[in-house]
């Protein structure tokens, strides 16, 4: 019995050795190195180490400080200032002395005194001797006024500026001398200026006052005491000798002496855009190379005897 037990132990030991030998050939790593006992060792890559077995170095957390943000007050953005368009430089104007004036036309057209109205405050006259009689083309009718205060004013206004060469005054009472002054208000002014002093007049019946002034918008007669016995002023007719110029095509600035046209044009077309009244002679000043073309270097000259008006020609600009 005892021999059987020993035999059984020996068999079990042999079986264990055989089993261990078989394990060295199954599942072994060919690259493994043999040990003294003939067993191979499997090399384990670091990546094959389970995560929970890897050493973890803890990095202390850095405290993050969030800066305090101050809200910015909203300021609306102003629209940009537009860049102004460059101002067109006017053409350099030549001297009038450098121009050659060419006569265009002359003549008589209309009656200037048809443009006259009386200013408020002018005395109407005595009975049927009213202001309208001064312009009715009848020297038998007249304006009559008793100059009790020794000083009376008669103001007449023109509907368009007038360039006056002479005022021709007809008095009703023959051989009677009238003492007066004539003043004129020019375009662009509110003041009257003395243009004729008749305070020491010696002429009766008719007086011709050459004043050669313009552009006139109003004329005022100031009458003085004519005699201690007869203070009546009796004005029969008034004739205005001179000219006017107007236009529906161009801009005319009488105060500055400028006519503005759309662009250069021919002499004939330019004259068609003007309306002249009274007695006049018209010339246009050209540069030598303009050859009859009216441009912004030309000058329109209108005259009658001693009264002359020069108008600079300019192009219209969109200012």
Asked if residue 39 has pLDDT above 50, the reply is: no
User: Are 149 and 266 members of one domain?
Assistant: no
- pLDDT the model gives residue 23: 43
| Host domain of residue 211 | 112-242
Q: How far is CA 265 from the centre of its chain?
A: 25
Which of 146, 121, 143 is CA-nearest to residue 231? 146
Structure tokens at 94: 């030549």
In whole angstroms, give the CA distance from residue 115 to residue 161.
10
User: Are 292 and 310 members of one domain?
Assistant: yes
Is residue 307 classed as helix, strand or coil in its secondary structure? strand
CATH number, domain with residue 128: 2.60.120.260
pTM over 0.85: no
Give yes or no for a contact between 218 and 185, defined as CB atoms under 8 angstroms apart: yes
User: Are 195 and 269 members of one domain?
Assistant: no
Bin 278: left if φ > 0, else alpha if -120 < ψ < 50, else beta.
left
Q: What percent of the chain has pLDDT over 70?
A: 69
Q: What does the pLDDT look like over 152-208, one tens digit per residue?
A: 889 999 999 999 999 999 999 888 888 899 999 999 999 999 999 998 999 989 999
User: Are 297 and 192 members of one domain?
Assistant: no
Burial (CB < 10 A; 0-12, 13-18, 19+), residue 179, is: middle
Q: What does the pLDDT look like over 222-231, one tens digit per residue?
A: 988 665 556 7
User: Are 225 and 304 members of one domain?
Assistant: no
Residue 14 lies in a domain: no
In whole angstroms, give the CA distance from residue 251 to residue 146.
44
Look at residues 227, 242, 257 and tell me which one is the last residue of a structural domain. 242
Residue 179 lies in a domain: yes
Q: What does the pLDDT look like over 64-77, one tens digit per residue?
A: 555 565 555 655 56
Q: How many domains are contained in the chain?
A: 2
Structure letter (DSSP) for residue 98: G
* Half-sphere exposure at residue 44, Cβ-oriented, CA atoms within 13 angstroms: 4
Look at residues 202, 225, 242 and tell me which one is the last residue of a structural domain. 242
Residue 76 lies in a domain: no
User: Are 105 and 155 members of one domain?
Assistant: no
User: Are 183 and 230 members of one domain?
Assistant: yes
User: Are 105 and 250 members of one domain?
Assistant: yes
Residue corresponding to tokens 């010339």 = 283
């Amino acid at each position: 019995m005892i021999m059987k037990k020993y035999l059984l132990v020996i068999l079990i030991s042999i079986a264990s050795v055989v089993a261990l030998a078989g394990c060295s050939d199954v599942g072994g790593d060919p690259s493994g190195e043999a040990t003294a006992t003939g067993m191979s060792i499997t090399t384990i890559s670091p990546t094959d180490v389970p995560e929970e077995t890897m050493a973890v170095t803890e990095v202390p957390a850095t405290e993050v400080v969030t800066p305090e943000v101050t809200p910015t007050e909203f300021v609306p953005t102003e629209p940009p200032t537009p860049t102004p368009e460059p101002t067109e430089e006017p053409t350099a104007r030549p001297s009038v002395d450098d121009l050659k004036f060419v006569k265009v036309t002359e003549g008589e057209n209309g009656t200037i005194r048809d443009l006259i109205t009386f200013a408020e405050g002018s005395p109407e006259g005595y009975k049927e001797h009213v202001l309208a009689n001064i312009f009715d083309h009848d020297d038998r009718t007249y304006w009559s006024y008793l100059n009790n205060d020794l000083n009376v004013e008669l103001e007449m206004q023109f509907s368009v500026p007038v360039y006056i060469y002479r005022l021709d005054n007809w008095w009703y009472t023959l051989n009677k001398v009238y003492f007066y002054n004539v003043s004129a208000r020019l375009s662009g002014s509110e003041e009257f200026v003395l243009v004729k002093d008749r305070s020491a007049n010696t002429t009766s019946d008719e007086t011709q006052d050459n004043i050669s002034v313009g552009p006139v918008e109003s004329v005022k007669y100031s009458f003085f005491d004519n005699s201690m016995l007869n203070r009546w002023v009796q004005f029969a007719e008034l004739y205005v000798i001179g000219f006017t110029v107007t236009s529906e095509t161009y801009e005319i600035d009488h105060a500055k002496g400028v006519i503005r046209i759309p662009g250069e044009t021919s002499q004939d077309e330019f004259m068609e855009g003007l309306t002249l009244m009274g007695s006049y002679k018209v010339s246009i000043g050209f540069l030598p190379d303009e050859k009859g073309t009216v441009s912004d270097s030309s000058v329109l000259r209108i005259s009658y005897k001693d009264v002359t008006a020069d108008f600079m020609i300019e192009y219209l600009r969109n200012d």
